[in-house]
């Protein structure tokens, strides 16, 4: 099976191409909207294709020969671009007669709620207009609506806070920890992260699972790790554990106050998803990548 990776330039896309190729299946086709976006995938002897982001026909042409595609909104995309890009992706997938599309969304579409786990079934709560969670929620709806009852069948993965190789937020955290700026306690709220290798495992499962009438799945690492424990584990792995307390950066502060606690039971039950790494191994691989970039 050939699978088009829509945003091969990003951390998740690059890791999908890498893992799919090195494990032999499925065959990845790396897509990017500019030449530089193909640099990471270009290390491997895989098919590389460039497409015009605003052109349905260009993207449909880039899907040529593929039976499935993975759509990953880029971190730098604006809310409007996310929604528009998803609609273009969905129509291009239909025109290219793909059988399955997988969208990687974000658990942030669920607002923090200390009392209960995120509910995968609609309706999603209202988000501030123009925010990224609002755009992702709208994009999910657009994709599912376009694919309702017609091929391709769509699967949405609401991924936890991604960490691992090439993930900007993790790199920011590692940089802060290794440059001696030590954050204050990150709090005891559960930290719903997702190592990028577990996202790859979830996408792999989602590409071939029988979905039935379930199309949305939350995927996170085990939820018994607090934000503070995660930060200290990363700090220890980097060899920079310190006890001084300084204020947290804004993006970590946001996460600190976020309480998600969800076991990916639906993903396990319906998709057959099994994590590729536990949290300790995920942190070890993430820190090993960070150290590699500093050598």
Partner 1 sequence: MRATTLVPRKRPRTLSGGGVPELVLLGDGDWIETTFGPALLRLHRSGEAHVTAAVAFPASSAASLSRNFPRIRTAANLDGVDAPPDAVVIVASALRHRSARIAAALRRGWHVVSACPPAENATEVSRLCELARQHEVTLTVDLPHRLAPGARWLRAIAGGRALGGCIGFQVKEGATLASPGEIPPSGAWIDPGLRALDLITDWFGPAQPLSAADDALGGVEAVARAELLCGGNLRGTLHIDRDWKQAPLYRVSCRRGVASWSPGAIGSASLRLEATDQELAGTLSDSSVPSDPRELQLRHLLGALVRGHEPANQATLLLPALELADQVRKMRTSLSLPWLSPNESAVASSLTLHVRAA
- Footprint of partner 1 (CB under 8 A): 14, 18-19, 22-24, 34-36, 38-46, 48-50, 164-166, 171, 197, 276-277, 285-286, 288-289, 291-293, 295
Class of residue 212 by CB neighbours under 10 A (exposed 0-12, middle 13-18, buried 19+): exposed
Is the distance from CB of 5 to CB of 70 less than 8 angstroms? yes
d(CA 165, CA 14): 9
What 8-state DSSP symbol labels residue 115?
A: T
Give the nearest distance from C-beta 4 to partner 1 in angstroms.
15
Q: Which is nearer to partner 1, 5 or 248 (CB)?
A: 5
d(CA 54, CA 59): 9
d(CA 287, CA 194): 15
Instruction: Characterise 187 by phi-psi region: left (phi > 0), alpha (psi -120 to 50), beta (else).
Output: left
- Biggest CA pair distance of the chain: 57
Residue in the block written with tokens 């793909």:
98
* Beta partners for residue 32, in sequence order: 50
Give the nearest distance from C-beta 292 to partner 1 in angstroms.
6
Q: How many CB atoms lie within 10 A of CB 73?
A: 24
Q: Which is nearer to partner 1, 100 or 166 (CB)?
A: 166
Give the nearest distance from C-beta 33 to partner 1 in angstroms.
11
Give the nearest distance from C-beta 21 to partner 1 in angstroms.
8
Give the nearest distance from C-beta 189 to partner 1 in angstroms.
27
Q: Which is nearer to partner 1, 57 or 246 (CB)?
A: 57
Give the nearest distance from C-beta 161 to partner 1 in angstroms.
18
Give the nearest distance from C-beta 253 to partner 1 in angstroms.
25
d(CA 294, CA 187): 29
Q: CA triplet 287, 290, 294: central angle to 5 degrees?
A: 135
Q: Which is nearer to partner 1, 32 or 143 (CB)?
A: 32
Per-residue exposure over 254-292, b if at least 16 CB sit within 10 Å of its own CB, e if not: ebbebbbbbebebbbebbebebbbebeebbebbbebbee
Q: Which is nearer to partner 1, 266 or 291 (CB)?
A: 291
**Cβ within 8 Å of residue 76, ≥6 positions away:** none
Q: Which is nearer to partner 1, 166 or 231 (CB)?
A: 166
Give the nearest distance from C-beta 174 to partner 1 in angstroms.
11
Give the tokens for residue 90.
């969905």
Q: Which is nearer to partner 1, 38 or 90 (CB)?
A: 38
Q: Which is nearer to partner 1, 50 or 266 (CB)?
A: 50
């Amino acid at each position: 099976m050939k699978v088009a990776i829509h945003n091969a330039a990003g951390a998740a896309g690059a890791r999908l191409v890498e893992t799919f190729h090195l494990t032999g299946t499925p065959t990845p086709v790396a897509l990017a909207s500019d030449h530089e976006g193909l640099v990471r995938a270009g290390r491997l002897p895989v098919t590389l294709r460039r497409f015009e982001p605003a052109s349905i026909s260009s993207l449909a042409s880039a899907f040529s020969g593929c039976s499935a595609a993975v759509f990953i909104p880029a971190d730098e995309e604006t809310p409007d671009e996310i929604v528009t890009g998803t609609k273009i992706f969905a129509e291009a997938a239909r025109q290219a007669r793909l059988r399955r599309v997988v969208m990687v969304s974000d658990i942030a579409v669920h607002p923090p709620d200390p009392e209960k786990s995120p509910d995968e079934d609609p309706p999603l709560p209202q988000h501030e207009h123009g925010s990224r969670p609002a755009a992702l929620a709208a994009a999910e709806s657009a994709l599912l609506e376009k694919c309702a009852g017609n091929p391709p069948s769509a699967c949405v993965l609401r991924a936890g806070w991604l960490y691992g190789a090439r993930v900007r937020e993790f790199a920011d955290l590692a940089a802060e920890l290794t440059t001696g700026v030590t954050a204050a306690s990150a709090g005891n709220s559960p930290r719903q992260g997702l190592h990028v290798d577990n996202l790859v495992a979830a996408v792999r499962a989602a590409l071939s699972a029988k979905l039935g009438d379930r199309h949305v799945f939350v995927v996170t690492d085990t939820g018994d790790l607090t934000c503070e424990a995660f930060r200290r584990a990363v700090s220890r792995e980097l060899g920079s554990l310190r006890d001084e307390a300084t204020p947290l950066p804004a993006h970590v502060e946001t996460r600190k106050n976020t309480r998600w606690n969800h076991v990916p039971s639906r993903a396990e039950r319906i998709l057959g998803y099994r994590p590729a790494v536990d949290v300790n191994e995920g942190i070890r691989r993430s820190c090993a990548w960070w150290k590699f970039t500093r050598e």
